[in-house]
Amino acid sequence: MTRAIVLGRFQPFHKGHAYLVMQAALVHPNQPVMVAIGSAKKEWEPDNPWSAEERAAMISAWAEAEQIEIETCLIEDINDPPNWVAHARRSHGEGTLVTSDEPTSRLYKDDSFPVHDLPLSERERFEGWRVRQTAKMLSTVYDDEAVREVLNTSVPESVVDWLISNDALFRLSTFETGVHAG
């Protein structure tokens, strides 16, 4: 089976990720998109607040709402770029990597893996650290509608609903990141 593969940490799954998955669904129509969740062992830390299973659940909530067929796999870090593609391939299998990340694209192309490059979509708005900082600022706000209004600018509504219904924002209030939002 030839399928599109989207690789990321998805901390959290935001609208930039949604764009990639939707575009990936067009690369190999009628095939599920393989969403490869990296840093699978990283969780409960400022840059990786959600577990791989939680990230898979938020991505699945989004895919169900959008009626996009996906599969997910988990990939542990090995911190060994020359061997990364072979390592990741064992989890995500064969297909076409769909990415807007130039270093990842280069790594896969150097390994003769098919790559479909996409331009970055609103990068400043969808940088993971910005989304996490916004979510952190909202982590102690007890007005779900206010949280939805602010987060929906960068995070799909179905993921915001998942974060709220699973009380998954609160843990962000416990992290000291050293990053200032101003």
Same domain? For 131 and 95 the reply is no
Looking at residue 152, its pLDDT comes to 82
Q: Do 76 and 22 share a domain, yes or no? A: yes
Segments in the chain forming alpha helices (H): 15-27, 52-66, 81-92, 102-110, 123-126, 128-138, 144-151, 157-165
For residue 182, is it within any domain? no
CATH code for position 83? 3.40.50.620
pLDDT, position 180: 45
As averages over each run of 10 residues, the pLDDT of the chain (182 residues) reads 90 92 94 96 86 96 96 94 93 95 94 92 63 72 83 89 87 61 46
Q: What is the 3-state secondary structure (H, E, C) of 149-164?
A: HHHCCCCCHHHHHHHH
Single residue among 74, 98, 117 that ends a domain in this structure: 117
**What is the span of the domain harbouring residue 167?**
123-174
CA angle 85, 90, 92 (to 5 degrees): 80
In a domain, 180, yes or no: no
Measure the CA–CA gap between 162 and 58, rounded to whole angstroms.
6
Residue 126 pLDDT:
59
Q: What pLDDT is recorded for position 127?
A: 67
Q: For the whole model, what pTM was predicted?
A: 0.87
Closest CA to 157 of 45, 44, 12, 31: 12
